[in-house]
Amino acid sequence: MQNLGIDVLFKGTNMMRLLGGLWVSLRISLIAVLFSILLGVPLGILMSRKSRIIRAITRLYLEIVRIMPQMVLLFIVFFGTTRVFGWNLDAEVASVIVFSFWGCAEMSDLVRGALISIPKHQYESAKALGMNSLTVFVFIILPQTIRRLLPLSINLVTRMIKTTSLVMMIGVVEVLKVGQQIIEANRTSSPNAAFGVYGTVLLLYFIGCWPISMLSKYLEKKWNNV
Amino acid sequence: MSKREEIIRVDHITKRYDENAVLDDFSLSVHEGEVVVIVGPSGCGKSTILRIMNGLEPIQKGEVTYRGEKVDGKLGSITRIREKVGMVFQSYELFPHKTILQNIMLASILVQKRDRREVKEEALQLLARVGLSEKKDAYPRQLSGGQKQRVAIVRALAMHPEVLLFDEVTAALDPEMVREVLDVLLSLAKEGKTMVIVTHEMSFAKAVADRVIFLDGGHMEEEGTASEFFDHPKTERAKQFLHTFTYDKVERE
């Protein structure tokens, strides 16, 4: 049988280092998700308002984020701004900033979409029962919005976790970079390590994302038609 | 009828969407215990009147009052007025994330701050009245259109409104479900509830109405008792309108 190069992982602390790398990836994406929710939800609520100025500004922001490749954003923030503004930015902080910038845009668009998908009559029938605007929003609109939003935003989270593989380009030592280092270090003793190590990295991403994706499927089914 | 207290007064109102006048200098007053039915061709502004009575629609001229108090969607007093002016919509609009029982109880608990147990007991009684006791823990999507509409009526009743507005409540229903909903309205009329009903069901209108308002092009074209209007319409427009509901026998050569 071919040597798949998995044996490298059991040398020394290699496996622990790889898991440590996975934690860096998850940490960046989870902190970014947290910021995306904290900033994206209010922004999405704002975007569902009718004001033309707010809509124009948010539209522009959204388009910029959508059009720019995340890697270019990472380069601008990490290499560009540090040089121009002369500040000292940690690569991981830069990653969190870029991922939050991206996640916040996507999240706000999801929130806006979910909010405007609630029929106007839901507001009216609640108001007709004597509820004030706050009660209508908290008890009628928000619960329905969250039900529509959750499966979509979970999908965003898995996309963010996957995309963290880019941050190695600005020097963050995350799971993929650790894998690369292990392969480099064992080039002569295990020339086949690339397959085993990258395969394991793939598996680790899968282990990180799959439960989240399953949760999304489950919620979607549970809240069907709501 | 005129001796009874006036509950809602619509005073020379004008409503425009952009440049088009939907209602033009329209007035109406609704007295306690009265059943007013508004009929007229599609798009004549019938539903708009109900929405204005509940402050859901702003007006450009005139005034609407509920027991002398101004009805205006922008004023803080509107929620208090809406508690007393129940409204049922064409598309039922139950809250999809709540069970049937929760749908009925929600506003009584949140808005009127009534005791949960008492509210629940009453909600169950109301559900039994419309024959839907066994659906109390179901979600709206599991109900038929007619059942949903009966729940929507019960939800409005649970607030103990003084007047009920019904906006084409059977228009979205399959024909065989219309009856079960209209029977509920008839029984409410028998109890002496004050109601304003917009409907396309002419035989029902004739049976339930104390007073019929015929609306066309944003104007009140005719007003009268049910038998006056349906049996001896005065205006040509009303005759034409009523004629659209009858068919002449096809004569074959």
Q: A128 contacts in B (CB within 8 Å)?
A: 54, 56, 82, 85-87, 89, 156
Residue-range definition of the domain harbouring residue A123? 6-224
The pLDDT tens digits of the residues spanning B114-164 come to 999 999 999 999 999 999 999 999 999 999 999 999 999 999 999 999 999
Q: With CB atoms and an 8 Å threshold, state whether B96 touches A226.
A: yes
What local confidence, expressed as pLDDT, does residue A7 receive?
81
CB A96 within 8 A of CB A192: no
Max CA separation in chain A (angstroms): 76
Pairing outcome for strands B194-198 and B211-216? unpaired
Calculate the average pLDDT of chain B: 92
**In chain A, which residue's Cα lies nearest the Cα of B160?**
A129
**In chain B, which residue's Cα lies nearest the Cα of A129?**
B83
Question: In whole angstroms, what is the distance from residue B119 CA to residue B112 CA?
Answer: 10
What local confidence, expressed as pLDDT, does residue A225 receive?
55
User: Does B172 have pLDDT greater than 80?
Assistant: yes
Q: Which amino acid is at B72?
A: D
Q: With CB atoms and an 8 Å threshold, state whether B93 touches A140.
A: no
Interface of B with A in 7-36 (CB under 8 A): none
What local confidence, expressed as pLDDT, does residue A174 receive?
87
Q: Does B161 touch chain A (CB under 8 A)?
A: no
Residue A202 belongs to a domain: yes
Best B110, B112, B163, B167 residue to mutate vs chain A (most A CBs within 10 Å): B110
Question: In whole angstroms, what is the distance from residue B187 CA to residue B29 CA?
Answer: 23
The pTM of this model reads: 0.82
State both tokens at B196: 């304003």
**In terms of Cα–Cα distance, which of A199, A197, A202, A207 is closest to A10?**
A197
Q: With CB atoms and an 8 Å threshold, state whether B56 touches A128.
A: yes
Among the partner-chain residues A124, A130, A144, the one whose CB lies closest to the CB of B107 is A130
Q: With CB atoms and an 8 Å threshold, state whether B111 touches A126.
A: no
Give the residues of chain A that fall short of pLDDT 50.
1
The pLDDT tens digits of the residues spanning B196-213 come to 999 999 999 999 999 999
Question: In whole angstroms, what is the distance from residue A28 CA to residue A52 CA?
Answer: 34
The stretch B29-55 carries a mean pLDDT of: 92
Q: With CB atoms and an 8 Å threshold, state whether A129 touches B141.
A: no
Q: How many domains does chain A have?
A: 1
CA distance A123 to chain B (A): 9
Q: Tell which wins on pLDDT, B33 or B245.
A: B33
DSSP chain B: -TTSPEEEEEEEEEEEETTEEEEEEEEEEEETT-EEEEE-STTSSHHHHHHHHTTSS--SEEEEEETTEE--TTSTTHHHHHHHEEEE-TT----TTS-HHHHHHHHHHHTS---HHHHHHHHHHHHHHTT-GGGTTS-GGGS-HHHHHHHHHHHHHTT--SEEEEESTTTTS-HHHHHHHHHHHHHHHHTT-EEEEE-S-HHHHHHH-SEEEEEETTEEEEEE-HHHHHHS--SHHHHHHHHTT--PPPPP-
Residue A110 belongs to a domain: yes
What local confidence, expressed as pLDDT, does residue B150 receive?
95
* CATH value at residue A206: 1.10.3720.10
CA distance B82 to chain A (A): 5
Residue A73 belongs to a domain: yes
Q: With CB atoms and an 8 Å threshold, state whether A226 touches B111.
A: no
Residue A1 belongs to a domain: no
Q: A125 contacts in B (CB within 8 Å)?
A: 87, 89, 93-95, 152
What local confidence, expressed as pLDDT, does residue B1 receive?
46
Interface of B with A in 123-142 (CB under 8 A): 139, 141
The region, left, alpha or beta by phi > 0 then psi within -120 to 50, assigned to residue B249 is beta
| Angle, helices B116-129/B100-110, rounded to nearest 10 degrees | 140
The residues on A that touch B, with CB distances below 8 Å, are 119, 121-122, 124-132, 135, 139-140, 143-144, 147, 225-226
Q: Strand pairing partners for A24?
A: none
Residue A178 belongs to a domain: yes
CB B96 within 8 A of CB A144: yes
Q: With CB atoms and an 8 Å threshold, state whether B110 touches A143.
A: no
What local confidence, expressed as pLDDT, does residue B85 receive?
95
ipTM of the complex, rounded to two decimals: 0.88
Strand B6-17: give its sheet, edge to edge. B20-31, B6-17, B61-66, B69-70
Strand B219-224: give its sheet, edge to edge. B85-88, B163-167, B194-198, B35-39, B211-216, B219-224
DSSP A91-125: HHHHHHHHHHHHHHHHHHHHHHHHHHTS-HHHHHH
CA distance A45 to chain B (A): 20
What local confidence, expressed as pLDDT, does residue A39 receive?
94
